[in-house]
Structure 1
Amino acid sequence: MALTPGGLSPKELGDLLRQARENAEITQAAAATALDVARTTLVAMEQGQRRPRVDELQKLAALYGLSLNELLRQDTVRVDLRPRFRKAGEQNEKVEAAIELLNALVQAEVEFEDLLGIQRSRLDPPERPLLPGNVVLQAEQDAAELRQWLGLGLAPVRDIVSMLELQLGARVYVRKLDPKISGLYAFDERAGACILLNASHPRDRRTQTGAHELGHFISTRLAPDTLHDGTAESSREERYANTFARCFLTPARAVSVKFQELTAGASKLTRRHIILLAHVFGVSREATVRRLEELGLTKPGTWDWFVQQGGITDAQALEVLGDLIPPDDAKVDARRLISMRMGVMASEAWRQSLLSEGQIARLLHIDRVDARTLIDEFEAEGVETNGSRSFSA
């Protein structure tokens, strides 16, 4: 398998190999002999004309008295999101802790990608800066435009995290945060859009938060955002993001059509109708009723009436939906020390001898025991699936 770290061009990698050899005072002939290749092959590597394989980089690193990480100078990789938030005035200790967590997750993921030569695919959507005039109308138009751009049409967004990650290439993490923090967003030219969602919140609420942060990604891309529980719409930016989230997740036409289908022949709006509508669009029961009120499909104050009558409970939703309620895999992954994706990359980096246990522990901010446990888990999974599927380099 050929390796060209994501942040290095073949020419830059060749320059690093040449500099390391010269610093070790080893001739091209001696290095070529150690690799069991012709001298001309080593010259081609150092000139960026031939990509070295992982095993060749490992041999060269050992020959030059360096770790592979040192050879590739991956310690120069830096993605620091913290200054962006501090310029925005975020000083709360719990917010600072969330910012530190997001920064550490992004930094570690970028370093693993560089080390393993992974080129992350990104598809940043068209940016739509806020314009003078009706910001609510602009948010509705932008949400409809993005849906068409993504090929969603009027279909429900089944999994916003997967959509953000797989279609847009955003970095999305679901981790337990202070209950009052719903999510964080930041953009870095190299890392792309970075979003942290609170695993302590229900799935439908995380969906709303993800769509809210997507609104910032569309409109105020370079400005970081920290969404607190019950954040007031005190600015045009927040009004835009909130409206964008509603329109993106529950487009007016789709809601109206589904509402008519579900309530056909009914004389009044019931809890069952709300539960089914909320399930279809993957949003909370309250958000569903508020949207119906906004669209004039039910009377203003309908949600308040339901609350006065005891609300619409999870137990009632379970009675209506039963097995249709899917398991929340994000909460399972959030119990891990790191994300599943980074766990796989860490294990692969160790398997290829690119990083030691100690280096993995430092990079992921975990102790050596946890790093060893992480590696053992993925080693065991690799043994179980060995031979069941082949991958091409």
Structure 2
Amino acid sequence: MALIPGGLSPKDLGDLLRQARENAKITQAAAAAALDVARTTLVAMEQGQRRPRVDELQKLAILYGLSLNELLRQDSIRVDLRPRFRHTGEQSDKLQAAIELLNRLVQAEVELEDLLGIQRTRLDPPERPLLLGNVGLQAEQDAAELRQWLGLGLAPVHDIVSLLELQLGARVYIRKLDPKISGLYAFDERAGACVLLNADHPRDRRTQTGAHELGHFVSTRHAPDTLHDGTPQSTREERYANTFARCFLTPARAVHVKLQELTAGASKLTRRHIILLAHVFSVSREAMVRRLEELGLVKPGTWDWFVQHGGITDAQAQEVLGDLIPPDDAKVDARRQISMRMGVMASEAWRQALLSEGQIVRLLHIDRVDARTLIDEFEAEGAETDGSRSFSA
């Protein structure tokens, strides 16, 4: 199978091979002889007319005195999101740390995909720039349009992360951040949409943040966003993103239908109704009540009334929902030094001799002990699966 790094055309890869050969002061004839191919074949590789195989790339890397990783890691394929955040206003140390984290995660993932020949599938939604007029109305229309484009109809979005990752091909990371930082969003032509969510926040709050960042992806795609706790809706962009999130997660008609279904025969709205509604739409209890208020389905100030009378607690939700509350696997994964997916890719790259242990340390920003643990875990898993059937070609 040919190893063509994602984002590199055969022509670009050929240019890298030619540059590496020239830097090593090796002739085309000598390189062709090392591969046991005709010189014309090597010329075709360097011109992007013939795709090199993995074993050929490995032989060329050795011949040029490089690791395969060094051969393919060029400035032209690097991703750097940091400069895009310099105009976001507040630049606290904790925000800078979150920006650095997102940048490292994206960079490492892109490079691992390149090494393994993984072509990430992206499906960027139609871009809808902000227009003059009522930005809230535009957000509602755009949210409804995106739902139809994704084939969701009025169905609840139970997992915003899976929707972003699997359906749209966005890069979503859930890691521990400062409590006041809800999420970050950036877009890069090479890497696509990149989102970082706070693992310390409850799942329903992360859902709201993910939908908010999806709103930016749809409307202000190339402008980075940092969502802080209590961020005021001071700009049209923020008002759009907040309204988009509400309308995308809780479409008006779906809320009407489900409210009527759950309250059939009831004389008043109770905590149980709110808990069930919030669970159905995978949003917080407060977000659910605020949406009902916005749609005129309950009196204004209903949420404030609940707060003044003891609120709607997690214990009450547990009593109503019981085993319907799923475990939060994202919090478990966030306790790792790196994500599960990145760990698997790094281990596979090491198994194929595409990365050394030291290169894993530098790429993933972990120490040698963690790198060795990662490799040992992968080797143990490999030993357990020896003899099992491999994937069919």
State the TM-score, normalizing by the size of structure 2.
0.95
Q: Secondary structure at the match of 1:87?
A: coil
Offset of 1:77 from its aligned partner? 2.7
Unpaired segments ≥5 residues, structure 1: none
* Partner Cα distance (2:187, 2:224) in 1: 7
Within the alignment, does 1:329 sit opposite 2:329 as a pair? Answer: yes
Q: Which is further off, 370-379 or 273-282? A: 370-379
Tell me if the contact between 1:204 and 1:282 (Cα under 8 Å) persists in the aligned partners.
Answer: yes
Instruction: Identify the residue that residue 74 of structure 1 maps to in structure 2.
Output: 74
Correspondence list, 1:238-249, <5 A: 238-249=238-249
Code of the residue aligned with 1:381 in structure 2: it is: E
* Partner Cα distance (2:35, 2:277) in 1: 64
Instruction: Identify the residue that residue 385 of structure 1 maps to in structure 2.
Output: 385
Tell me if the contact between 1:74 and 1:111 (Cα under 8 Å) persists in the aligned partners.
Answer: no
Tell me if the contact between 1:215 and 1:241 (Cα under 8 Å) persists in the aligned partners.
Answer: yes
* Partner Cα distance (1:97, 1:274) in 2: 37
* Partner Cα distance (2:318, 2:387) in 1: 41
Offset of 1:39 from its aligned partner? 4.8
Offset of 1:381 from its aligned partner? 2.4
After superposition, give the CA deviation of every residue in 1:65-111 in whole Å (9 maximum; x if it has no partner): 21112222435432111111112223111111111111111111111
Offset of 1:38 from its aligned partner? 4.8
Q: Rate the CA distance shift 1:73–1:223 in 2: closer, same or farther, 3 A.
A: closer
Q: Rate the CA distance shift 1:286–1:386 in 2: closer, same or farther, 3 A.
A: farther
Q: Secondary structure at the match of 1:152?
A: coil
Within the alignment, does 1:299 sit opposite 2:299 as a pair? Answer: yes
Offset of 1:43 from its aligned partner? 4.1
Within the alignment, does 1:147 sit opposite 2:147 as a pair? Answer: yes
Instruction: Identify the residue that residue 94 of structure 1 maps to in structure 2.
Output: 94
* Partner Cα distance (1:357, 1:40) in 2: 36
Q: Rate the CA distance shift 1:16–1:301 in 2: closer, same or farther, 3 A.
A: closer
Q: Secondary structure at the match of 1:391?
A: coil
Offset of 1:346 from its aligned partner? 0.9
* Partner Cα distance (2:140, 2:303) in 1: 23
After superposition, give the CA deviation of every residue in 1:119-143 in whole Å (9 maximum; x if it has no partner): 2111111111111111111111111
Offset of 1:303 from its aligned partner? 1.2
* Partner Cα distance (1:235, 1:19) in 2: 48
Q: Rate the CA distance shift 1:235–1:58 in 2: closer, same or farther, 3 A.
A: same
Q: Rate the CA distance shift 1:197–1:374 in 2: closer, same or farther, 3 A.
A: same
Offset of 1:196 from its aligned partner? 0.6
Instruction: Identify the residue that residue 110 of structure 1 maps to in structure 2.
Output: 110
Code of the residue aligned with 1:374 in structure 2: it is: L
Offset of 1:378 from its aligned partner? 2.3
Instruction: Identify the residue that residue 314 of structure 2 maps to in structure 1.
Output: 314
Instruction: Identify the residue that residue 268 of structure 2 maps to in structure 1.
Output: 268
* Partner Cα distance (2:105, 2:377) in 1: 20
* Partner Cα distance (2:189, 2:27) in 1: 39
Count of matched residue pairs: 393
Q: Rate the CA distance shift 1:23–1:292 in 2: closer, same or farther, 3 A.
A: closer
Offset of 1:40 from its aligned partner? 4.8
Instruction: Identify the residue that residue 65 of structure 1 maps to in structure 2.
Output: 65
Instruction: Identify the residue that residue 8 of structure 2 maps to in structure 1.
Output: 8
Unpaired segments ≥5 residues, structure 2: none
Within the alignment, does 1:169 sit opposite 2:165 as a pair? Answer: no
Q: Rate the CA distance shift 1:256–1:388 in 2: closer, same or farther, 3 A.
A: farther
Within the alignment, does 1:184 sit opposite 2:166 as a pair? Answer: no
Across the aligned residues of Structure 1 and Structure 2, the Cα RMSD in angstroms comes to 1.8
